[in-house]
Structure formats: C-alpha cells, structure tokens
Chains A and B, each alone.
Chain A
C-alpha cells in the first residue's frame, strides 16, 4: 500500500514539475547535470546492471525451456507408465559419470569406456524398468530424451551458477564473459529443445545421415543384419563388384551403437583393403549445409573412446582409413533431418561408389561405417 502512495506522489511531483514549475530548457539542463554525476560515480555499476539484466532474461528463458521440456518428458513417460514419473525424471537427469583419474594417463581410454558403458547400463536398466510397457525403440528414444533434458538442465544450472557468482563477487570479468557467451548458449538451448522434440517422436535427426547412408546401401538386405557389438549391426553385400561390409547402429530406436567395438571384433577375423567412415560434421558459419568433404582419419565424434579403438585397430592392421563428412550446424545435427541433408545422403552414396571403384581392386573388399544416431532409421 505504501508503495502505491509513494508511486502516486512521485508521479504527481513529476507531472507538476514538467507542466507547471519549470520550463523545458531548465529541465533539460537539470537532467544532463544529474546524468553527468550519475555516470561519473556509478557508470560501471550501471553497465553491470544492464549486463546482469540481459543475463537474467537469458536465465529466465533457459528456465522456461527447461521446465517446458521437463513437462513434455513427464507427459511422454506417463503414456508408458502408471506411476508419476516426476521424481524419477528429476533423479535421472542429475546422474553424473565421474571421470577416471588422469594423473597416469596410460590406459585411461579403457577406463573411460568401462565407466561410460556402466553409466549407460545403469540408466538404461532404470528407465527400461520404469517404462516396461513401451516398445524397444520407444525405450531407446526415451533414453535420448532424458539425455537431452539432462543437458538442458545442466546448461541452466551452469548459467545460474556463474550469474550468482558474478553478482555475489561483483566481478565485472565474470559478468562480461557470461554476457559474451549468451547468444551461443541460447542457440544451443534452442537446438536442445528441437532435439527433445525429434527424439520424443522418433524423427530421424541430421546426425543420422551416416546411418542413413549405411541403411540405403544395405537396402533390401536390412533384414539380414547381425548384431556385431552392443546396439551395432553388420552385414555384407556387394558394391560395384567388390565385397562391402557395412556397419551401423541398430535402428529405429535412438542409439549411436559402438562402432569401435564392432570394427575391432570384425577386423580380428576379416581382412579389408579399405575402411570408409561416413559421419555428420559441424560446419563453420558461412558453409553450406549438406556439403560433403572428404579426408583421412576416423570420422566420429563423442568422448573419443570409439575413435581410439578404430584408429588403434586400423593402424595395427595397416588399413587405409578414409572419412566422408556431411557438413551441418549443431542445431541441424540434433533436430529433425532437413531435406538438404536427406538429399546429401544420395551424393554420399555416389561418392562411396567412386571411392570403392578407385581405391579397391576388383577382388578386394571395403568396410563402410555409417556413424551417427540411427533414430527413425531402421
């Protein structure tokens, strides 16, 4: 009540000041004089207040996104479970995987590999038992959805942490750095919201272009695939009169599989003249989405365990390793696949055919690995 009284008195004072007491020239002089002293004394503080307000709005928007994403996931999970999933979701998105000690880096890759698989097993078993009525691919998709929600939650909490730190310490450097990364953070959060949408409904995502190429090459033989590693399938076919082995993640549920394990077990018993990996790669601003680049090396992202396994085995066996990369933005990689990226898969297949004709002899063989999340792709 007192606030309204003060407010009405202030407004009345200003009204009388502007309309009756002073002429406009005097008011302007007064304003400039007051502003001059304000900026001399509190200039930096005012700048910080403006920056903090920007950050506050960004955090507000992140919170809005996180909450609406959480509600969407709750609604989704209610379809497959009779109990309320709220507390279960809150528990799962806070799970952490503690990194192995890196003081002695020897053998750290295998420790990472073990911990990541253990972490995946734990979340998988809990989610699968919670939504036991769902189909296999819907369970996989729910795992992806929860992962996206966990990332969104982490993004919000990190931004809030640095904002509170900046405000508590009054450090201009923390605040300015935070404000500088705001557009990128919001872009990533937007991309995550798109990912949540794609994974909820089982749309193929841009990252799945490698898996799409592999599936298209497998064609009608998709039913003849066999599981060669966890969530990873393999089959043999012929392309341009050469033997071709194809590896991809098992679809249509959302998973990236373990192509590193697959190639290790395969090259133990089979001989190939060339290994080609097809994957999605992040484009630089200004580059065209769906453009294709080629190179040498393991075209695979992630923490690095699968990349290590592939590099290790091909270098030991002395097999050339080529990569074909389809360029896309971060947002395109995790949101529903665009028409451009879908059409790029045809160009990749044409390029793979050229490579096998150019680099593999008639009686030789090539191994093709379609890397990426196979959601929405069989």
Chain B
C-alpha cells in the first residue's frame, strides 16, 4: 500500500536535473555573449548575455523557493523565547527568566534572589516575548 503512494512522492532528483541543465545552458549563453561582444557583434552578444542572465535568475529563484518550502516552520525555534515571570510574595520582587519544564501559572518557581524567602516565588505569567515573535514571523514560514 505504502509503495503505491510513494510513487507520487516528490520527484526532486528530476527537478534538480532540469535545473542543472538550465544552469548549463545559461552559463553557455553568458560565455557566448561575452565572446560575441568582444568579437564586435554587439547585438547578438547582448541578447545572448541577457538570455543567460534570465536563465540564471530562474534557477536561483527556484532554488530559493525550494529552500523555503522544505524548511521546518520557524515556530520550532521559539523554545528559548518563552519567558516565566515570577513575583516574590514577601518582598514584591519581580523577575523574568526563560521558561523551564514544569513551570505553570500560579505554581511555585525559584527562591527569591533578593530576600531569599523560604517560600519560593509565585509564577505570575508565562508567555512568548513580543520582540521574539515578530522576529520569528519575519521568517514567513508558510511563504508560497
């Protein structure tokens, strides 16, 4: 059953073969264009050169597109960006640190570094810092 469905998986090697072929033609056209221009045939040279550049751009565009599509979403790297806000109920000291497993809102966190109270600080909030989120969204993980 799995074999049948795999027949329809991405034929990425064929795609790269075609891209490689296009790259070869583009480079040949660019060299040809330079040769033509140096031998005085300016119009043919410029046309050949421009065609080569066009093909080269097409290859670069497609590779860039694949890179985006096959990359995992940026949200996976949000891990170290979630913060835990703690407040000391004895002295009112508030601190912000990176989230660690086992933290939950209205649970108990670390001991207060200021008054060293015996009662651990209260976890007041856990959230994703805004500046980190904007940075991650800027990567546009679902770009088409």
A residues adjacent to B (C-beta < 8 A): 7, 10-11, 14-15, 18-19, 23-25, 28, 53-54, 56-61, 63-65, 68, 137, 160, 163-164, 167, 182-183, 186-187, 189-191, 193-194, 197, 201-204, 212, 215, 222, 251-252, 331, 335-342, 376-378
Quick check: B70 and A164 within 8 Å, CB to CB?
no
**Chain A min CB distance to B105 (Å):** 5
Complex CA gap A335/B24 in Å reads 45
Q: Do the beta carbons of B102 and A202 come within 8 Å of each other?
A: yes
Decide yes or no whether B92 CB sits under 8 A from chain A.
no
Interface SS of A by simple majority: helix
Distance of A63 Cα from B69 Cα, bound (Å): 12
B140 CB to closest chain A CB (Å) equals: 10
Whether the pair B107, A252 counts as a contact (CB closer than 8 A) is: yes
Name the contact of A377 in the complex, choosing from B51, B72, B104 (C-beta under 8 A). B104
Q: Mark B residues whose CB is within 8 Å of A.
A: 5, 8-12, 15, 17, 21, 24-25, 28-29, 32, 35-36, 44, 47-48, 51, 65-66, 69-70, 72-73, 75-76, 78-79, 82, 99, 101-107, 125-130, 133, 141-142, 144
Residues on A with beta carbons closer than 8 Å to the beta carbon of B82: 203, 336
> In the docked arrangement, what's the CA distance between A7 and B78, Å?
45
Picked from B24, B48, B70, the residue with its CB within 8 Å of the CB of A24 is B48
Q: Which residues of A contact B104 (CB under 8 A)?
A: 137, 202, 204, 251-252, 376-378
Asked whether, in the complex, the Cβ of B128 is within 8 Å of the Cβ of A338, the reply is yes
Q: Which residues of A contact B133 (CB under 8 A)?
A: 338-339
Compute the total of residue contacts between A and B using a CB distance below 8 Å. Answer: 143
**Residues B101 and A14 in contact, CB atoms below 8 Å apart:** no
* CB-based contact B9/A60 at 8 Å: yes
Q: Which A residues lie within 8 Å of B5 (CB)?
A: 160, 164
Query: How far does the Cβ of B97 sit from chain A's closest Cβ, in whole Å?
Result: 14
Contact of B47 among A28, A60, A68 (CB under 8 A): A28
Among residues of A, the one whose C-beta sits closest to the C-beta of B69 is A57
Q: Which residues from chain B contact A160 at a C-beta distance below 8 Å?
A: 5, 8
List 18 additional A-B contacts (Cβ < 8 Å) besides A56-B11, A57-B66, A65-B73: A7-B21, A18-B25, A24-B47, A24-B51, A28-B47, A57-B69, A57-B70, A60-B70, A61-B69, A163-B8, A193-B73, A202-B104, A215-B105, A339-B133, A342-B125, A376-B104, A376-B126, A378-B106
